[in-house]
Structure 1
Amino acid sequence: MPPKLIGGGSYRRDACLRRKRACEKLVEKYGVFDIKGSTVGLGENICDERFPCPDLVLLYARMGLHRYNLLQGTKFQLSRVEKYILSKPPGVVIGSYYITLDAMDPANGSSSQIFQTEVSEEACGRLILLCNLARIRGDKSNGRGVTRINGSLPEWPAENPFEKYNLVEESDDDWIRLYMELAVATKDRSREAKDYGPSTLEIVKVAMDANGEGLNALNATFYVRYKDLYEAQSGKVLDRFAIVRRRLHEDTGSFSLVGSLVTPNPEDFQM
């Protein structure tokens, strides 16, 4: 029998503390967005032709831009993701993504800006995302504290929501599509972008409950009817429904999206 090591647990704890302090020093020196390489719980990922940006990270980058556009009244569109830092402790499925991206506002011609955004996953297998930060690089604004997200959603209304609430026009389809793609992609991470793109995910109707505040309300609930052609290929139901809630947490400045895919009832097909 091999000899028992004395103090092994203490040695491992000390080693973990040393790595943690080294990580904190790197963050303090460079800032989390500009860390080079990888360290404990933080990994730098450069996006290029050799290592394309993952589909989910592209969606998170678009969510960060969406938050910025809502608050600033702009219409920036994602050009590309330069890199992202993934903060995820060992053995944990969900993480936080610190994304550096290029975006353009068509209203400003060819003007391009570099953005930094942070998007955190608050659950696995479901759309519960928190965007704490979305800024043009060089801006030193940060989040203002910890936000607790209520992951519950209202039941599907007994009264037809597409008659009860305002309908969203097709011209506003871009960010509604983002919500739906996020809802599908976070539920099933094995699906590729082509499996939840416009050719396979068809939005039929969208109703918006914003308590009368209008289309740009920061706090609103959306009821969506859509067709999932990808799922229908395997014999599953084509017509589907989803609920998505967006909210700006004024105390911290964080922006959250909470959503759920709803199992349809046969009578709902008449909506």
Structure 2
Amino acid sequence: MTEIAILLPSIGDEQPQRKRKLESSRSSGAAAAPIQSFPKVDYNPWDDEEDDPVIEKEYNRQFVESDGFDVDYFYLPYGGGLVPHIVEDKYDYPYDVGLFSRLGLHCYNLEKGTSLKLAAINKYNDKLRFTRCLCYYITLEAIDTSTNSLCNFQTCVFKDFLPEQASFLAQTEISRLKVPSGPRPPTYDGPERIWNDDAVDDSYKGKMPKWFTKDEMAAISTKGQFYELQESDLQGNEWLHMYAEFAFHYKWMAHESELRPFLPLEIKKVIIQTKEESQPCMKLKANNAIFYIIFKGNGDPSGAPVEYRAVVRKTMDGIPGHICLEVDCLAYKSS
């Protein structure tokens, strides 16, 4: 006999607990109750949210005709659509969007020999790509410092949170003066959007190089591939500060909206490594180079005195509008 205690609610004069004795099925030999079978029902939670072909067609039209820069918000049940953001105050934009805008302008300046500088951001669209990359389509205003004139500019930049060879990667797919929307051949997967890795020298591929040891630092002056920048080099090339900011952004990605109070960064040392230029002063103009940067912030988000050592690898594949920055960065307490 198997004894089971069953708690029942108290009703009238009944005891709150009553014991019921049940015979074990083993001892009684009673046949087990038959198991009922039910027909299998296939349920797909997405069935209630089927794509509207009219909406999807209109979204695709807007995307193709603007290369992703002028797209309304469309609810696509399966995700993957661009999310538009209008910047209410075009001079007060998210820090990271401004940083990626500057990268697109930097790429254009290197290719065209111009001196465009970020002035304002009108809007941007973003989307998650491959679950680890965030892609931005940014429409901005730039000022040409040589003529003091404004122009409209577009850049498409994506950042990879988990690249294979570095800690962080930012790469442009489009860097151009604004193009009016309208019917055009699609460029989303065209050759002008795809990075041509074969065009980059193998010296700038693979795992990121480590920071120099003391002995290597002492021997740098004897190696033709290396050049330590002078103070005048830093003053004449603002984009070097942008490279350091990408490293700072990576280290404090969770606090990126609060990084502005710690700018401008103080760059203490920059060493360039490249095979492309023999003259030291020309190494800054190399399409492919590795930058070893020591910098510190104007204060630090950690609240402690910190010095950063960043390795930034810059590559260009020869396709207009393309530049890639790969970043590793370590932080050390400074005195």
Asked if these proteins are the same fold (TM beyond 0.5), I'd say: yes
Q: Give the match's secondary structure for 2:158.
A: strand
Seen in structure 2, the aligned counterparts of structure 1 residues 97 and 151 have a Cα distance that, compared at 3 Å, is: farther
Seen in structure 2, the aligned counterparts of structure 1 residues 232 and 196 have a Cα distance that, compared at 3 Å, is: closer
Is 2:257 the partner of 1:167?
Answer: no
1:206 is aligned to 270
Letter in 1 for 2:217: N
Identity %: 25
Q: CA deviation at 1:251?
A: 6.0
Seen in structure 2, the aligned counterparts of structure 1 residues 60 and 253 have a Cα distance that, compared at 3 Å, is: closer
CA distance in 2, matches of 1:36, 1:15: 17
TM-score, reference length from structure 1: 0.80
Q: Among 174, 178, 196, which residue is 1:133 paired with?
A: 174
Q: Among 128, 146, 155, which residue is 2:194 paired with?
A: 146
CA distance in 1, matches of 2:175, 2:301: 36
Q: CA deviation at 1:94?
A: 3.3
2:318 is aligned to 250
Can you list the C-alpha shifts for 1:46-79, whole angstroms capped at 9, x where unaligned? 1122994211000000000000001111111111
Seen in structure 2, the aligned counterparts of structure 1 residues 264 and 39 have a Cα distance that, compared at 3 Å, is: same
For structure 1, the residue ranges without an aligned partner over 5 or more in a row are: none
CA distance in 2, matches of 1:51, 1:105: 17
1:156 is aligned to 211
Q: Contact 1:128 / 1:257 at 8 angstroms: preserved in 2?
A: yes
2:245 is aligned to 181
Q: CA deviation at 1:7?
A: 5.1
For structure 2, the residue ranges without an aligned partner over 5 or more in a row are: 1-38, 198-204
Seen in structure 2, the aligned counterparts of structure 1 residues 187 and 253 have a Cα distance that, compared at 3 Å, is: same
Can you list the C-alpha shifts for 1:158-209, whole angstroms capped at 9, x where unaligned? 31176452123222341011011112113322142324411xx311011111
Q: Contact 2:174 / 2:322 at 8 angstroms: preserved in 1?
A: yes
Single out whichever of 169-178 and 53-62 deviates more from structure 2: 169-178
Larger radius of gyration: 2
Seen in structure 2, the aligned counterparts of structure 1 residues 220 and 50 have a Cα distance that, compared at 3 Å, is: closer
Q: Contact 2:100 / 2:157 at 8 angstroms: preserved in 1?
A: yes
Q: Among 96, 100, 104, which residue is 2:139 paired with?
A: 100
1:193 is aligned to 259
Q: Contact 2:306 / 2:331 at 8 angstroms: preserved in 1?
A: no
2:87 is aligned to 47
Single out whichever of 202-211 and 136-145 deviates more from structure 2: 136-145
